[in-house]
Amino acid sequence: MNIDGAALVPTHPNDVELARLGDEIGPDGRVLPDVPKPPAVSANPGDAGRARNDAGGVQINAHTAMTSWQGERLDVGWAISVLHPLAAHPLARPPAS
């Protein structure tokens, strides 16, 4: 005699009603929400990216991923003044009242 384990699990009447209505029930028993369909992707997405780069004037070549850093030391004071809008930049500070 073959006993199916799923047949031994009690089913709540609400689960049966939700399944009848087409809602999906997750493994924890909660109703899964409807999700949008994923966007369509072309057969060759590389062509779409290449066309977008060409239209924007972006040129990808062997030197694209190379850095222009030549090993010089980092000027931390300059980096902070450039990256933080209120640090060491008199025009970026609010006027004194």
Domain residue limits, the chain? 8-35
What are the backbone dihedrals phi and psi of residue 31, each rounded to the nearest 5 degrees, phi first? -75, 130
Whether the CB-CB separation of 86 and 92 falls below 8 Å is answered with yes
Task: Give the Cβ contact number of residue 32 at 10 Å.
Answer: 11
One digit per residue, pLDDT tens: the chain, 97 residues? 445 555 555 566 666 555 555 567 778 878 878 888 888 888 888 898 899 999 999 999 888 889 888 888 988 888 887 888 776 555 545 555 5
pLDDT of residue 1: 44
> Is this model's pTM higher than 0.85 or not?
no
CA distance 94 to 65: 39
pLDDT of residue 18: 52
Q: Which residues pair with 25 in a beta bridge?
A: 31
